[in-house]
């Protein structure tokens, strides 16, 4: 009888085990497209077969094992974070890049080129009313371009501020969801071990969404709850506890430019500044635009900004040359430009034509020696490319300085676009890897994976050969070669 | 001469198309992808080597543009290969590793201490 009961029990265990396996399989199928869901494996354990001791063999269900592989998940989150970073930077950089038309046809570059051309034409006909009027018109256009560029940068700043606020709110909302998942894990421990697959799926989906927004480090406690650190240091979620972060925009102590646009700060729950910890994800990208790229152009509490430097140098030098010259009627010249000099960061946004300037007040003649009827106008026509240290900004001529600023913005925009493309590719690879880890057992394939490394190395060498051959052919095919 | 130029350009465009196929294959850079990818790369190498030896591309700006795109693709592909290599190498180390040496080299439990590296 004992043997019969043993056999029946064994069969019962096997049926239960296979029912569980079937249930898990169905769950896998129904959750195949659930974000963050990792395939669950039913672990069927062989029972000892020793009839003399009443052990009748068979199988029973073991603990359900999640194949969620933290390594693969982390790889996906890392790429999501990089992609989020570049994506967030790409749009504002494209907008800023549009302000600096390097072709010189439009915008600030075009307006400055037109001004220097008008000085040149005026130098050829210093008494021409038409050329004098052209100078005033071109100067007005330059002032408007500086103001327009400064205003667009201010608007971009406001937009980025809103995006930072919105991103911080999203981070806090996701942290709330993760905290709720942790609470669910603590209240309803999975009797078969591990975490309930539904909660696990929610948790991983939230973690992936969070990774797009900021660089987060995730570790798991022995009770299955997730600990989430922002920037590797600031705890967002620990078990059932959540700590909100907030964005702040205020000038720090030591600001030297009155009225300057303050930098963005991220504060932890205790009000500590944690901005420096956040470099990745959309928030890291937005902070880079907000605290590095924009201040480099429009200035902040500590720096003047290249746009203001340029506006001030153009205005000051043009005014100095004109006021040291004389008009055709023998009067001292008047300044062409005016700006609010209360703060160095306000120059570009307030640059305008001097209210007293008229055609007759333009002074083309230089006192010399030797005195020349068009000396001042000639000097102005060369101002853009002048190598005179007094005309330069940081060792660069005015046009070189402008070109360098435009090139830097263009390079940053290009890098963001290239980085976004690369991160998208690597994300696809990481997700494919994640699917493989969760979809099949690669443990058994570990040796093959080692051989795979040789395949990668061989492919890498071939790509290097292709790169070299392509370069050789480019040298051959370039028409000027 | 024109026929030769067209053939040279077509060969460049063929190589460029193969490059895109290789990149596409490596988006899922698992064990099954590497061999087809190598086949594509071998075809590209053979095509470009023939162009170099035939010297049919002189002063051909269209081919030059295609070759520049191939170089850009090569840089992207190199990044893909490097990333895949590191991904799998790291995973193997996690599965089979027995820690790291004081020099930071991974130690495998089942074999001599060694390391995975990518050589471009």
pLDDT, one tens digit per residue, over B1-14 is 566 667 888 999 99
Q: Answer yes or no: is B85 within a domain.
A: no
pLDDT score, position A65: 43
**Domains in chain B: how many in total?**
1
Q: Which domain holds residue B65?
A: 2-77
CA distance B91 to A362: 74
Q: Answer yes or no: is B101 within a domain.
A: no
Q: Answer yes or no: is B95 within a domain.
A: no
Q: Answer yes or no: is B82 within a domain.
A: no
Per-residue pLDDT tens over the stretch A246-260: 999 976 667 778 888
pLDDT score, position A2: 41
**Which of B28, B64, B83 lies closest to A426 in CB terms?**
B83
pLDDT score, position A29: 40
pLDDT score, position A132: 94
Other beta carbons within 10 Å of B4: 14
Q: Answer yes or no: is B120 within a domain.
A: no
Residue B84 pLDDT > 80, yes or no? yes
pLDDT score, position B2: 62
pTM for the predicted model, two decimal places: 0.78
Q: Answer yes or no: is B108 within a domain.
A: no
Q: What residue ranges of chain A have pLDDT lower than 70?
A: 1-68, 190-194, 251-253, 438-450, 479-481
Burial-class residue B115 by CB neighbours within 10 Å (0-12, 13-18, 19+): middle
B72 min Cα distance to partner chain A (Å): 9
Q: Which residues of A touch B60 (CB under 8 A)?
A: 477, 479
- Beta carbons of A458 and B38 less than 8 Å apart: yes
Q: Which of B17, B65, B67 to mutate to test the interface with A (most CBs of A within 10 A)?
A: B67
A111 min Cα distance to partner chain B (Å): 33
CA distance B18 to B41: 7
Per-residue pLDDT tens over the stretch A195-218: 777 888 899 999 999 999 999 988
Q: Answer yes or no: is B16 within a domain.
A: yes
């Amino acid at each position: 009888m004992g043997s019969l009961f043993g056999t029946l029990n064994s069969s019962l265990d096997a049926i239960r085990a296979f029912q569980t396996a079937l249930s898990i399989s169905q769950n896998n199928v129904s959750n195949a497209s659930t974000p963050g869901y990792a395939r669950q494996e039913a672990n069927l354990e062989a029972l000892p077969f020793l009839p003399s001791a009443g052990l009748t063999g068979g199988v029973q269900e073991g603990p359900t094992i999640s194949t969620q592989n933290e390594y693969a998940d982390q790889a996906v989150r890392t790429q999501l974070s990089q992609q989020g970073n570049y994506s967030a930077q790409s749009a504002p950089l494209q907008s800023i890049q549009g302000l600096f038309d390097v072709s010189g046809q439009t915008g600030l570059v075009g307006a400055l080129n037109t001004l220097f051309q008008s000085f040149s034409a005026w130098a050829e006909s210093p008494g021409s009313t038409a050329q004098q009027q052209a100078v005033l018109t071109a100067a007005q256009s330059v002032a408007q371009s500086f103001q327009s560029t400064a205003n667009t940068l201010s608007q971009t700043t406001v937009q980025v501020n809103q995006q930072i606020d919105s991103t911080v709110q999203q981070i806090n909302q996701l942290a709330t969801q993760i905290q709720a998942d942790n609470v669910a894990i603590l209240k309803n421990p999975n009797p078969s071990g591990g975490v309930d697959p539904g909660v696990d799926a929610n948790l991983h989906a939230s973690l992936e969404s969070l990774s797009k927004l900021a660089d987060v480090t995730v570790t798991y406690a022995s009770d299955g709850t997730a600990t989430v650190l922002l920037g590797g240091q600031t705890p967002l979620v620990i078990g059932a506890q959540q700590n909100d972060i907030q964005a702040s925009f205020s000038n720090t102590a030591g600001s030297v430019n009155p009225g300057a646009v303050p930098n963005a700060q991220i504060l932890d729950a205790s009000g500590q500044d944690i901005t420096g910890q956040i470099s990745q994800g959309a928030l890291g990208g937005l902070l880079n635009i907000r605290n590095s790229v924009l201040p480099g152009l429009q200035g902040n509490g500590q720096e003047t900004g290249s746009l203001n430097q340029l506006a001030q140098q153009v205005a000051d030098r043009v005014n100095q040359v004109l006021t040291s010259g004389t008009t055709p009627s023998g009067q001292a010249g008047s300044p062409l430009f005016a700006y609010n000099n209360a703060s160095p960061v306000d120059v570009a946004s307030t640059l305008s034509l001097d209210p007293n300037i008229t055609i007759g007040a333009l002074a083309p003649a230089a006192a010399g020696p030797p005195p020349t009827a068009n000396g001042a106008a000639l000097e102005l026509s060369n101002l853009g490319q002048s190598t005179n240290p007094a005309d330069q900004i940081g060792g660069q001529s005015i046009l070189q300085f402008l070109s360098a600023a435009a090139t830097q913005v263009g390079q940053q925009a290009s890098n963001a676009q290239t980085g976004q493309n690369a991160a998208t590719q690597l994300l696809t690879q990481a997700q494919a890897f994640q699917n493989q880890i969760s979809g099949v057992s690669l443990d058994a394939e570990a040796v093959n994976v080692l051989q795979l490394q040789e395949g990668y190395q061989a492919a890498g060498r071939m790509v290097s050969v292709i790169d070299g051959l392509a370069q050789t052919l480019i040298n051959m095919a370039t028409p000027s070669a | 001469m024109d026929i030769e130029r067209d053939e040279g350009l077509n060969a460049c465009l063929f190589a460029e198309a193969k490059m895109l196929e290789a990149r596409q294959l490596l988006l899922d850079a698992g064990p099954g992808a590497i061999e087809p990818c190598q086949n594509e790369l071998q075809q590209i190498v053979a095509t470009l080597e023939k162009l170099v030896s035939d010297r049919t591309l002189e002063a051909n700006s269209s081919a030059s543009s295609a070759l520049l795109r191939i170089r850009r693709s090569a840089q992207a592909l190199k990044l893909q290969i490097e990333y895949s290599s590191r991904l799998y190498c790291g995973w193997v180390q996690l599965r089979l590793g027995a820690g790291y040496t004081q020099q930071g080299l991974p130690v495998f439990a089942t074999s001599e201490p060694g390391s995975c590296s990518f050589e471009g």
